[in-house]
Amino acid sequence: MKILVVNSNITPSVTDRIGAAARAVASPGTDIEAVTAPFGLPLIVTRADWLVAGPATLAALQARCGTYDAAVIACFGDPGLDAAKELIEVPVLGISEAAFHAAAMLGRRFGVVSFTAALRPMFEECLAHHGLTARCTGFRMGPAFAGDPGKVAEERLELLAGLCAESVEQDGAEAVILAGGPLAGIAPLLQPRVAVPLVDGTQAAVRLAEAMAGLVPRSPRPRRPRTLTGFPPEVASAYAG
């Protein structure tokens, strides 16, 4: 089985990190191909970023079309997810979608922890979009962060351990999602200090994509060919039928 993992931004070092996290949990026999969005922005933070990351993600999915059994959109907020589910013949999962569903199956109620409160509105919205707000005990997030995202996991490790403890002890979380791209891969560092399962979105998405890939037949959605202008050819090809 092959899973395509798409980094929705254009920074290859992030793609490498995502690919490593994905391979760490893939089943024997599963091949992971991690790709970088062919255009777009170096980092996806705001709703405006999310808007352009959608077609960029679709371009990456479309470019490899037919070569994978399931795909993962590895960007919190799941840009392009609903369109991809409509256009791509195999299962496509977002890492926030996967984190919410996996956490809900691992604990009756789950908390969300991240390093900065700036991400909270987007996470809340994303959680509401996936319909699982009632399963969430709430958000525990650190203060504004102006440093290097690549180092935040290490710099704020103590803070994160504390936020996880609050989520478990005060809010009653029975699983905790570590949310936000810069926290990918740090679950193993924190898990020994947290009494409940920690969920990494990318890793949850890979395992759930394997599950979905085997479950339903590829069902080509009815589609009428149309001409799309103004976008790179990979995007236009998704609409060409």
The residue among 160 and 202 lying less far from its own copies, judged by its C-beta, is 202
Residue 83 near its own copies by CB under 8 A: yes
Minimum separation from the CB atom of position 9 to its own copies (A): 11
Q: Is 134 in the site for its own copies (CB under 8 A)?
A: yes
Q: How far apart are CA 19 and CA 192, in angstroms?
A: 24
Selected range binding its own copies among 13-21, 23-31, 150-158, 178-186, rule: CB under 8 A: 23-31
135 binds its own copies (CB under 8 A): yes
Strands 31-36 and 2-7: parallel
CB of 178 to its own copies, least distance (A): 13
Tally DSSP H helices, then E strands, for the chain.
Answer: 10, 8
Residue 235 within binding range of its own copies, rule CB under 8 A? yes
Q: What is the largest CA-CA distance in the chain?
A: 55
Per CB under 8 A, does 147 bind its own copies? no
Structure-block tokens of residue 143? 């203060």
CB of 34 to its own copies, least distance (A): 19
Burial grade of 93 (CB within 10 A; 0-12, 13-18, 19 or more):
buried
Residue 209: Cβ within 10 Å count: 27
Of 11-19, 145-153, 176-184, 189-197, the segment contacting its own copies by CB under 8 A is 189-197
Side-chain half-sphere exposure of 126, counting CA atoms within 13 A: 27
Residue reference for tokens 């490899």: 64
Query: By rule CB under 8 A, what string of x and - marks binding of each residue 91-130 to its own copies?
Result: x-x---xx--xx-xxxxxx-------xx-xx--xx--xxx
Q: Which residues, 6+ apart, have CB-to-CB distance to 189 below 8 Å?
A: 153, 157
Which residue of 33, 162, 231, 237 would you call a contact of its own copies, by CB under 8 A? 231
The reply on whether position 59 binds its own copies by CB under 8 A is yes
- Residue 214 binding its own copies, by CB under 8 A: yes
Report in angstroms how near the CB of residue 124 gets to its own copies at its nearest: 7
